[in-house]
Amino acid sequence: MPTYTPPLRDMQFVMHEVLNVAQDLQQIPKHADIDVDTINAVLEEGGKFAAEVAFPLNISGDEEGCTIDQATHKVTTPKGFKEAYRQYIDGGWAALACDPEYGGQGLPYVVNGMFYEMLNSANQAWTMYPGLTHGAYAALETHGTPEQKATYLPKMTSGEWTGSMCLTEPHCGTDLGLMRTKAEPQADGTYKITGNKIFISAGEHDMTDNIIHLVLARLPDAPAGIKGISLFIVPKVLVNADGSLGERNGIYCGGLEHKMGIHGNATCQMVLDGAVGTMVGQPHKGMQGMFVMMNAARLGVGNQSLGLTEVAFQNALAYAKDRIQMRSLSGTKAKDKPADPIIVHPDVRKMLMTARAYADGGRALQVYCSMLLEKEHNHPDEKVRKDAGEMLALLTPIAKAFLTDNGHIATNACMQVFGGHGFIKEWGMEQYVRDNRINMIYEGTNTIQSLDLLGRKVLGNNGATLKKFGKLVGVLVAEEGVNEKMAEFITPIAILGEQMTKFTTEIGFKGFQNPDEVGAAAVDYLRVAGHLVFGYFFARMAQVALREIAAGNTDPFYTAKLQTARFYFAKLFPETATLMRTARTGSKVLMDTDAALA
């Protein structure tokens, strides 16, 4: 059976020693009183909830899955899920980072993000029920009317009601311009919505009395394509004027998807049969509101893979220390045993360190993105808000795609550490592989994220935002460039930073002549950009560790951080050279394949 220990010390290192989040947060009026001790205390308690309440339900939830009563369309979650959710809302966890105006605690996004990392390690399928509510909350907070906010946000803040996002239809996924769901205006200002949605996570369940669905649909006069989509609130149960629950609405689960992983989460086929909805925002402008939810979800999906990477690493490390097989190639290490523990073997260490490095780098990126989100929404300086939003837009596809691809690599590596036992269900490792696999697909496949990064976020503004990130790298290079002890961390990012300018310009020029060149290079390009971002954070982590060691700190924690950074730059970062080479081969070798694909 797997185990899980919340990585509080690693979180504290990134937040307080590398990125100094409390100091930054204190520049924001609503967080002027926040301090390190408060952040640590909240996360310590959050870790207890994750490890003691959510984690024990992970394997049982996977085995049991969700069930549907076809006669009533009611969905039942696995045993213990509903009770765990009750503890979650009773503990105030749903309200952690929500606005006090709606009953929230008003804590920083970074605290909620690190709490959710632990929940994802503990039980990704369970965590998706409350997790999706945050995105729906954000969309309504940004684009809802005062009446809509007053009706829905307090209950979503408390966790009494959850949320879902209803986009995908049987014939269209990412290409939302093809959707067919219709919204007919009614005399009372509401809309009757009819259509079918699929792959709706947490679309129906028994954990709350109401679910607030955000649904994309077309008005009768809607223009074709993506510019003809409107956004609607469609509650599972209609809400009366006094806030009480009324009649059951015409939206229900027609069936559950049978999936590779996240069995404990209800992935629903949703039927809208004249369901009553109210419009969010302006007609035909629905994507503006939905993008708020989608971007929140993309950061959340990256956090899911970070959580799975961490818990897979913890269990693989424990197994490698305990399992004995063969002798070390360099001589016996455990003389009192008939064989050495497998952790003595170089490739086992490579697999373990791969997972550890991707967890450490992913956590740094998640904390950084959370702080950008905070500044974008709440900083008093307009320029800071604008710059933060621009940088967050650049990093969001990297946080989604790079972290989930890395999660795939890491969970598979950790399963491999177990050998044959990794393939056996009782050890829990194969579930982490299965659960992580969806993260590369939903909320925009990783190819879509790559096209977004290269096409929109980089080439769309002639690399202006990428250059701003390059300046961050440049500042660090200038600060530590003459420090010999930092050379092994600084030199690689300095070189790649220079290469990225030429690499980006070359792809942009080829793409101007033939757009397929962008499509052919995008996935490799995102991974190169991801390593530049990770390299920057690993250099900063190494910088802190070296300073502590130089000051006489003998805590092995800092030695571990230094060793992880060295491993990352020696064994993982160098794939950028191959990626740039394959990206430069262009689209012809891909598109001139009609005979091979006939």
Which CATH number do you get for residue 197?
A: 2.40.110.20
Task: Tell me what pLDDT residue 1 has.
Answer: 87
Lowest mean pLDDT among 244-248, 255-259, 289-293, 304-308: 289-293
For residues 22-51, b (16+ Cβ closer than 10 Å) or e, as one string?
Answer: bebbeebebbeebeeeebbebbeebbebbb
The answer as to whether 388 is a domain residue is no
The whole-angstrom separation of Cα 594 and Cα 598 is 6
176: helix, strand or coil: helix
- 105 pLDDT tier (thresholds 50, 70, 90): very high
User: Is a pLDDT exceeding 90 seen at residue 324?
Assistant: yes
Question: Residue type for 344, please?
Answer: V
Mean pLDDT in residue range 202-218 = 98
Task: Show which of 262, 286, 310 is a domain's final residue.
Answer: 286
The answer as to whether 443 is a domain residue is no
The whole-angstrom separation of Cα 169 and Cα 167 is 7
The answer as to whether 227 is a domain residue is yes
The whole-angstrom separation of Cα 474 and Cα 468 is 10
Mean pLDDT in residue range 233-261 = 97
Per-residue model confidence as pLDDT tens digits over 255-264: 999 999 999 9
- 176 pLDDT tier (thresholds 50, 70, 90): confident
User: Is a pLDDT exceeding 90 seen at residue 26?
Assistant: yes
Task: Tell me what pLDDT residue 501 has.
Answer: 95
- Shared domain for 134 and 176, answered yes or no, is no
Question: Residue type for 277, please?
Answer: G
CATH of the domain at 87: 1.10.540.10
The answer as to whether 32 is a domain residue is yes
In contact, 179 and 225? CB cutoff 8 Å: no
User: Is a pLDDT exceeding 90 seen at residue 246?
Assistant: yes
The answer as to whether 366 is a domain residue is no
The whole-angstrom separation of Cα 245 and Cα 439 is 34
Task: Tell me what pLDDT residue 428 has.
Answer: 97
- Shared domain for 184 and 272, answered yes or no, is yes
Mean pLDDT in residue range 162-167 = 96
In contact, 232 and 287? CB cutoff 8 Å: no
- Shared domain for 223 and 257, answered yes or no, is yes
- Shared domain for 476 and 559, answered yes or no, is yes
Task: Tell me what pLDDT residue 411 has.
Answer: 98
In contact, 196 and 170? CB cutoff 8 Å: yes
- Shared domain for 128 and 217, answered yes or no, is no
Mean pLDDT in residue range 411-430 = 97
- Shared domain for 64 and 97, answered yes or no, is yes
Mean pLDDT in residue range 319-330 = 97
223 vs 179, 227, 281, CA distance in Å? 12, 6, 17
Lowest mean pLDDT among 193-197, 287-291, 374-378, 590-594: 287-291
- Shared domain for 12 and 99, answered yes or no, is yes
Q: Is 17 exposed, middle or buried (0-12, 13-18, 19+ CB in 10 A)?
A: middle
Whole domain around residue 582: which residue ranges? Answer: 462-598
- Neighbour count for residue 188 (Cβ, 10 Å): 8
For residues 435-456, b (16+ Cβ closer than 10 Å) or e, as one string?
Answer: bbbbbbebbbbbebbbbbbbbe
Residues 6+ apart with CB under 8 A from 335: none
Nearest to 357 by CA among 395, 419, 313, 415: 313
The answer as to whether 224 is a domain residue is yes
In contact, 145 and 112? CB cutoff 8 Å: no
The answer as to whether 567 is a domain residue is yes
Cα 440 → chain centroid: 10
Half-sphere exposure of 108 (CA within 13 A, CB side): 35
Task: Tell me what pLDDT residue 173 has.
Answer: 86
- Neighbour count for residue 176 (Cβ, 10 Å): 17
555: helix, strand or coil: coil
Nearest to 97 by CA among 303, 333, 370: 370
Q: Is 338 exposed, middle or buried (0-12, 13-18, 19+ CB in 10 A)?
A: exposed
In contact, 573 and 553? CB cutoff 8 Å: no
Q: Is 322 exposed, middle or buried (0-12, 13-18, 19+ CB in 10 A)?
A: exposed
The answer as to whether 256 is a domain residue is yes
- Shared domain for 481 and 529, answered yes or no, is yes
In contact, 204 and 211? CB cutoff 8 Å: yes
Residues 6+ apart with CB under 8 A from 433: 261, 408, 411, 412, 415
**H/E run at residue 509:** helix 487-513
Half-sphere exposure of 166 (CA within 13 A, CB side): 33
User: Is a pLDDT exceeding 90 seen at residue 191?
Assistant: yes
Task: Show which of 229, 255, 286 is a domain's final residue.
Answer: 286
- Shared domain for 109 and 188, answered yes or no, is no
Q: Is 215 exposed, middle or buried (0-12, 13-18, 19+ CB in 10 A)?
A: buried
As annotated, the active-site residues are 443
- Shared domain for 136 and 196, answered yes or no, is no
Model confidence pTM above 0.95 = yes
Half-sphere exposure of 308 (CA within 13 A, CB side): 39
544 vs 403, 482, 558, CA distance in Å? 23, 16, 8
- Shared domain for 179 and 112, answered yes or no, is no
- Shared domain for 133 and 182, answered yes or no, is no
User: Is a pLDDT exceeding 90 seen at residue 177?
Assistant: no
Mean pLDDT in residue range 512-541 = 98
Mean pLDDT in residue range 554-582 = 98
Task: Read off the DSSP letter of residue 454.
Answer: I
Q: How many domains does the chain have?
A: 3
Task: Tell me what pLDDT residue 578 has.
Answer: 98
